[in-house]
Amino acid sequence: MKQNGKALDMQEGASGLSPPEVCKKVRKQISERSEAVMASGPPVSDWARLPQELLLHIFQYLPLLDRAYASQVCREWNQAFHMPELWRCFEFELNQPASSYLKATHPDLIKQIIKRHSNHLQYVSFKVDSSTESAEAACDILSQLVNCSLKTLGLISTARPSFMEVPKSHFISALTVVFVNSKSLSSLKIDDTPVDDPSLKVLVANNSDTLKLLKMSSCPHVSPAGILCVADQCHGLRELALNYHLLSDELLLALSSEKHVHLEHLRIDVVSENPGQHFHTIKKSSWDAMVRHSPKFNLVMYFFLYEDEFGPFFNEEIPVTHLYFGRSVSKEVLGRVGLHCPRLVELVVCANGLRPLDEELIRIAKHCTQLSAIGLGECEVSCSAFVEFVKMCGRRLSQLSIMEEVLIPDHKYSLDEIHWEVSKHLGRVWFPDMMPTW
């Protein structure tokens, strides 16, 4: 207000007009300008003049179909729709409407992408249903990506069999197109596919300097020699996921060599296809070499075995950090886990049986000093042993998912009392789960 007063004083002094006369003059000037604006026509919200940077930002938040509709508004929006930045990351969704609830990418749009944007694609994934037709359609698209250099590729089957039902030659031919033309592939997720050793050699020959992540669980046509070839040549590999039958002492030593970068994440799926299946043993010295080379790496192991198949496991120290038992596991095996898994951070036991796990839990709390997350499903633990377990672990237990049916009341604690006692040792309010949350 003071500044406005000074301006009026100066204007009055300069023109000799009194304050009322000055206000009248200002109102007249404003009125004349308004009339000039009105004479030029009504105000128009010209959306076509939005800066392309702003349009790009808006389009990135739109679903693909809405983005396509928006491209029909005007020429400028259509040009924004085809900006290369919008097509660097794309997910093809392929399914058969009669057997899937997923929305499929429209065939006409797929043709347009291949024609106009294949050279812009960098981060690509394919989500297919369980039908062979959808997997074959994905292979047909891959075969046409001859002008692109992908950085990441993911093949995702929402249900089996999908890619495993595609003729192996068709799948390998399509994948080879990507391997040969993509000279900077850094991430490859090809679980449950018929990839084989020769195709992995093509991958290594063209992308050995850039590959950092490789997920290939449940790939029956790959041999230990095939995955060893990848580890020997791809020295920048930081994350690897594979089935246990591909794991070998030679592979661990290759990942532990001086020329290889520090591994960050190794996931192993230990799956039994038939009851009584035999599993080989990995030497403790090989695991020790791995830990010396990459002391902070995560070893994630998923076990889907029958109880009599655990013989080769947990007899010596193993550097597993995250351990999941998808089937029933015996008290004896859990006891060995407590003795030989000092790096354990997370433990999930889906089922055990009707014998209480009191001693095993106490042993795990005593020896697994980094444990911060545990989940128990169809098991039994006395309330007293559970409280003692929580007391030993203390507040480092950030995740504690225990089904209410797991806890067996005893002479010391009832189900109503255990909630308060556990909460006291955790330093936060805790209740048993009514259903599994992991």
Q: What is the mean pLDDT of residues 391-403?
A: 92
Measured CA to CA, the distance from residue 175 to residue 167 in angstroms comes to 13
**Mean pLDDT in the chain?**
86
- Whether the predicted pLDDT of 327 surpasses 50: yes
pLDDT in tens, 102-148: 677 888 888 888 888 888 899 999 999 888 999 999 999 999 988 88
The amino acid at residue 254 is: A
Assess whether pLDDT exceeds 90 at residue 295.
yes
CATH of domain 51-86: 1.20.1280.50
Q: What is the pLDDT of residue 21?
A: 64
Q: Which of 214, 194, 204 is nearest to 136 (CA)?
A: 194
pLDDT digits (tens, 9 = 90+) for 370-396: 999 999 988 999 999 999 999 999 899
102-111, 162-171, 196-205: range with lowest mean pLDDT: 102-111
pLDDT digits (tens, 9 = 90+) for 356-375: 999 999 999 999 999 999 99
pLDDT attached to residue 437: 53
Confidence class of residue 201 from pLDDT cuts 50, 70 and 90?
A: very high
Residue matched to tokens 């930045």:
85
Residue 179 contacts residue 211 (beta carbons within 8 Å)? no
CA 296 – CA 91 distance, rounded (Å): 33
Cα–Cα distance measured from residue 25 to residue 30, given in angstroms and rounded to the nearest whole number: 9
In tens, the pLDDT along 235-278 reads 999 999 999 999 999 999 999 999 999 999 999 999 988 777 88
Range 396-399, long-range pairs (CB < 8 A, 24+ positions): 396/370, 396/371, 396/372, 397/371, 397/372, 397/373, 397/426, 398/372, 398/373, 399/346, 399/372, 399/373, 399/374, 399/375
Distance (Å) of CA 17 to CA 8, 26, 308, 353, 400: 10, 12, 105, 99, 81
Per-residue pLDDT band at 3 (split at 50, 70, 90): very low
Token representation of residue 204:
């290594």
Q: Rounded distance, CA 71 to CA 65, Å? A: 10
* Per-residue pLDDT reduced to its tens digit, 53-84: 888 888 888 877 788 888 888 888 888 888 88
Mean pLDDT of 174-185: 92
Cα(91)–Cα(310) distance, rounded to whole angstroms?
Answer: 40
- For the four alpha carbons of 420, 425, 427 and 430, in that order, the dihedral sign comes to negative
Amino acid at 183: K
- Write down the domain spans for the chain: 51-86, 321-437
> What per-residue confidence (pLDDT) applies to 426?
92
pLDDT at 1: 42
How would you label 192-215 residue by residue, b for 16+ Cβ within 10 Å and e otherwise?
bbbbbbebbeebbebbbeebbbbb
CB-based contacts of 252, cutoff 8 Å, min separation 6: 282, 286, 287, 289, 290
pLDDT for residue 265: 97
Q: What pTM value is reported for the model?
A: 0.81
Instruction: Please report which confidence band the pLDDT of residue 18 belongs to, taking 50, 70 and 90 as the band edges.
Output: low
**pLDDT value, residue 27:** 57
Contact of 430 with 393, CB cutoff 8 Å: no
